[in-house]
Chain A
Amino acid sequence: MIRLRSVDKEYDGRKVLRSLDLQVDAGEFLFVTGPSGAGKTTLLRLLYAAEHPTAGEVWVGGERVDNIARARLPGLRRKIGVIFQDFKLLRRKTVLENITFVLRFHGLSQREAHRRAYLVLKRLGLHHRQSALPDALSGGEQQRVAIARALAYQPRLILADEPTGNLDADLAGELLSLLCDINYQGATVILATHDNGLLESIPARTIVLHGGAIHYDGMWPP
């Protein structure tokens, strides 16, 4: 599903990722952890081609994405559900519209997009806020809308960057359970977090990044 070969990433001469080699099979659940600045977000950004590596190869779903043509970016990103650390919600659109908007790219009719968006909002306990604008929501609610948007079109790969950063322990547990369900249904999930509580709540393959290199790759807790 995902393969990184000798990937380096530099920003202004500062190495953020160093000779990273990683393979993630389809259907795996992978935690990526490490201290702030370890390269977790950069690793995820390389996977949805928001960044290009300085050296090395990045393959996602059989497609090389480190030098992907601009015209093929939308196609790649429609295969991936990304849960952003800073939510990235459209401020002028309602909660429901934030989700239907993306579903429409996937060729769904307006009616079907509304139906599916409502279902996913209901699953995340946000259906009563469907007409609210993002700015009227709490941080946790915004995070859940971002999650709903990423899950609505049932992607085969989900990338989550600190998805529980704005959630309380109960909601974080619910989210993890939701991601596990989706993973159980066959989707690959990569979750970047520095929340040890989250890491210890389910046994899963975990890579620990430190200074841009993999320090540990195996089941966690060890």
Chain B
Amino acid sequence: MIRHALAEGWLLLRHRGLVSLFLALALAIPIGLAGVTWSIMRWLEPAIGTAQRANVVAVLLHPHMGDDQRVAWLESQRREHPGWQIEVVAPEELAQRLVHWFPYLTDLLARDGGAMLPPLVEITTADPESVAVLERSPAVIAVGPRTPLSSLLGRASRGLGVALAAASFVLAISAVLLAAVWVHLELYRHADEITIMRLVGATESTIRGPFLVATAAPGLVAGALAALGTSAVVDALSRLAVALGLPGLIVSFGLLAAQAGAGVLLPLAAAVVTLMRHAAAEGE
């Protein structure tokens, strides 16, 4: 019956070629948009992390402080400000953070593993403004921003991601509904044939096969288009980011495979549900 499903599915596709192409595009756009959103969100992760850690204030200590002096200073701050949670950031981690946003520093920082960088501590507090007092301390070079600017950047990044994800979701739902309506209309168009097939002993899988093939095929095209589109858009964005001195965006093979899978599975799920509902209605 696989041969029957393929042959009849091909006939359905041929008779509704333009609709199938439209369905493929309608599916490819949200899946592609979701892929691009995912790549951008991964790229913006550090900024979003900043928003989530809005109460953390970075403090750069004087590089000429000895280890004993630094430990003593940290102890004194912990005693004076019991509400602060003070954590020392390892030089390697600080180097990694810098490299993420300024990739051209990679070679420079790789030479000494970040030993040339001033020691960084992060202070978590319910009142970030209170950390301003450290600006007067001779042990401190600089105190990080306490204004909501960094959190604003993070929130904007997250908001952009949510908006793009929501748009992808709405478009994907529309495409799935379109696939369901297409199957429904084809069932209506072939109602007589389906009745005859049932009367002469065709199983439900024989009846459903061609419709599943005819929806999976545009889905396959949609998945491929979405994956290609995502690669192209992410590549263009990446080149733009690098030109601006920012890190490049990465598109993973797993994401492309997921897009191809979603392209097939979304319309197939719509078709299966529609066919089951149709069979149930016929049974009544």
Does B bind A?
yes
A residues apposed to B, CB below 8 Å: 48, 50, 70, 73-78, 82, 84, 88-92, 101-102, 104-105, 110, 149
Q: Complex formed: what's the CA distance from A91 to B191 in Å? A: 12
Tell me which of B193, B200, B204, B279 contacts A102 (CB under 8 A).
B200
Contacts of B283 in A (CB 8 A): 70
**Given A70-B283, A104-B1, is A88 in contact with B201 using a C-beta cutoff of 8 Å?**
no
Q: Complex formed: what's the CA distance from A50 to B192 in Å? A: 14
Task: Summarize B's interface: helix, strand, loop or mixed.
Answer: helix
Cβ contact within 8 Å between A105 and B200:
yes
Q: Complex formed: what's the CA distance from A105 to B196 in Å? A: 13
Q: Complex formed: what's the CA distance from A133 to B40 in Å? A: 56
Q: Complex formed: what's the CA distance from A187 to B204 in Å? A: 28
**Residue B4, interface by CB 8 Å:** yes
Cβ contact within 8 Å between B1 and A77:
no
Contacts of A92 in B (CB 8 A): 11, 193
Q: Top 10 nearest A-B pairs by Cβ distance? A: A77-B201, A78-B201, A88-B196, A74-B203, A74-B201, A102-B200, A105-B201, A70-B283, A90-B193, A90-B196
Tell me which of A74, A89, A149 contacts B202 (CB under 8 A).
A74
Cβ contact within 8 Å between A91 and B193:
yes
Contacts of A89 in B (CB 8 A): 196
Pairs across A and B, CB under 8 Å, 18 listed = A70-B283, A74-B198, A77-B198, A77-B201, A78-B201, A82-B199, A84-B199, A88-B195, A88-B199, A89-B196, A92-B11, A102-B200, A102-B201, A104-B4, A105-B202, A105-B203, A105-B206, A149-B200
Contacts of A82 in B (CB 8 A): 199-200
Q: Complex formed: what's the CA distance from A3 to B283 in Å? A: 24
Contacts of A50 in B (CB 8 A): 199
Q: Encode contact with A along B191-229: 1 for CB under 8 Å, 0 otherwise.
A: 011011111111110100000000000000000000000
Q: Complex formed: what's the CA distance from A102 to B200 in Å? A: 7
Residue of B nearest to A155 (CB): B201
Most chain A C-beta atoms within 10 Å of own C-beta, residue among B3, B11, B193: B193
B258-283 contacts to A, CB under 8 A, are 279, 283
Q: Complex formed: what's the CA distance from A70 to B207 in Å? A: 14
Contacts of B204 in A (CB 8 A): 74
CB distance from A42 to the nearest CB of B (A): 15
Cβ contact within 8 Å between A77 and B196:
no
Residue of B nearest to A81 (CB): B200
Contacts of A75 in B (CB 8 A): 201
Contacts of B192 in A (CB 8 A): 91
Q: Complex formed: what's the CA distance from A40 to B200 in Å? A: 20
| Known pairs A70-B279, A76-B201 / 17 extra A-B pairs, C-beta < 8 Å | A70-B283, A73-B198, A74-B201, A74-B202, A74-B204, A75-B201, A77-B198, A78-B201, A82-B199, A84-B199, A88-B196, A91-B193, A101-B4, A102-B200, A104-B4, A105-B200, A105-B206
